[in-house]
Amino acid sequence: MWCVLIYGFIILKEGWDNPNVFQVCVLQDSTNAFKRRQQIGRGLRLCVNGNGDRISDISVNTLTVVAGESFKTFANNLQNEYTTDTNINFTSVLPIKNQNNKVEIELNKRVYNGLDGNFKKLWNKINAKTIYTATLDSDALVLKVVDALKDTLNANTISVDKVNIQRNRVNIDNAGISGNLRGLSDINLNTNNDNINIVSILAESTNLTRKTIVSILQSITPEQLKLTEVNSKKFINVVEVEINNAKNNLLIDGIKYHKYNELNLYGVVDEVDHCYAQSLFDRLEHGYKDDVKNSGNVLDTNHQEVAGLQEEFKNKFLYNVLRFDSKPEVNFLRDCLARDEVKTITKLPSWFKVNTPLGKYNPDWALLVQKDGMEEVYFIAETKGESFATNGRPSEQAKVKCGKKHFVEALSVAYKDGSDARDMLNLI
């Protein structure tokens, strides 16, 4: 159930705290930066679940601000300030879109209801839902964590927290306000708590047994263990990160996917939940066409990238337009439309997801390919840049590995990742 509330600015000042705010619509434009900070600050709290626990999932903690175009400059300046103060790097610019360029994405009925039945065959092949099981070798985990901590747990990473104090003399006269530096000093903070139980904290934050945590702590060097006396909180943070990284990698290596309908879950899981229904495609999505600032993310049959391929677009692609996230996706669609062996291609919708230990994974493309004019091959493609294997985010790389196991091992569907359609299709 949604609740729409309209507040006056006075209520949204200090002291008002509702962590579950996901949309802020600015009805009154203002150039006052302080007022704007308070407005968006209402939606920057980490949200909570039904038990009151904070949720850090970025897919949930997304704030949508509906405001005038002048808000963009303020938002960019705020991001730059965060980058300077906290070293947080924003990987993308603020996605401000002109609502006049909004385009509803519709199904291409020629493909969706095609007489050849290609899309229906493709969908029935890939729509099964799965659950995964994973095994974790505790001894291998301990070795991996201890090895990783050789580089990350040392005197350079674990230090005493300090407060920097700067003393100034302020002069106020007819010429204005000026100041002179009088001194600098540092104060060491007491960041240790003698009563802190490191084993219990790590066991709870990593979901490992106390026995495994003790094995890890006993396997590091005495010099490393003594760092708990320097800064126990930083010590715990470093060890926790390495444990979770190693645990996720080992889980993925041993993960196995199983289709719901093969596990005799009838009565436990509704039959309709065993797969994604084709009727879900009736949910309309939207994108934004190009404007003078080239900020659009929609490609249609008139786009220069598919010039000369209008008929192929209408006969092969599931939608009337492509909503793309990157240039490689545009290139991939163009090259697939031009390939004779590609009979049907669709950009998979945002609700089509695969479960992984690191969160939901949404693959890019599904294709029906006819090899040598006879054999039909069902194919999932993930468009990634050439440097993804070496420079991609570890969490994203892990999700791609899980997605491949889901499709290849559980559904017997080919899976490739890359940026070149020809190379992918030749590898099938």
Task: Look up residue 370 and give its two tokens.
Answer: 């006819």
| Whether residue 271 has pLDDT greater than 70 | no
In whole angstroms, what is the distance from residue 258 CA to residue 130 CA? Answer: 5
Give CA separation, 315 vs 114, 182, 286, 320, in Å: 9, 76, 21, 10
CB 361 within 8 A of CB 403: yes
Question: Is 102-130+259-426 in CATH node 3.30.70?
Answer: no
By C-alpha distance, which of 362, 361, 317, 364 is closest to 339?
317
Percentage, residues of the chain above pLDDT 70:
87
Give pLDDT tens digits for 199-217. 999 999 888 999 999 999 9
**Residues β-bridged to residue 307:** none
Averaged pLDDT, 180-184: 81
- Bridge-based pairing state of the strands 102-105 and 176-188: unpaired
In whole angstroms, what is the distance from residue 376 CA to residue 343 CA? Answer: 9
Task: Look up residue 213 and give its two tokens.
Answer: 């945590």
- Which residue is associated with the tokens 């964590």? 145
Q: Is 405 left (phi over 0), alpha (psi -120 to 50) or beta?
A: alpha
37 φ/ψ angles, rounded to the nearest 5 degrees: -60, -40
Q: pLDDT tier at 1 (50, 70, 90 boundaries)? A: very low
- Which residue is associated with the tokens 């003790």? 214
Give pLDDT tens digits for 277-325. 888 888 877 777 765 555 677 888 888 888 889 899 999 999 998 888 7
| Whether residue 353 has pLDDT greater than 90 | yes
Q: Give the residue extent of every domain in the chain.
A: 9-96, 102-130+259-426, 138-253
Q: Is 271 left (phi over 0), alpha (psi -120 to 50) or beta?
A: alpha
In whole angstroms, what is the distance from residue 200 CA to residue 259 CA? Answer: 36
How confident is the model at residue 151, as a pLDDT? 93
How confident is the model at residue 272, as a pLDDT? 53
Q: pLDDT tier at 77 (50, 70, 90 boundaries)? A: confident
190-218 exposure pattern, b = at least 16 Cβ within 10 A, e = fewer: eeeeeeeebeebbbeebebeeebbebbbe
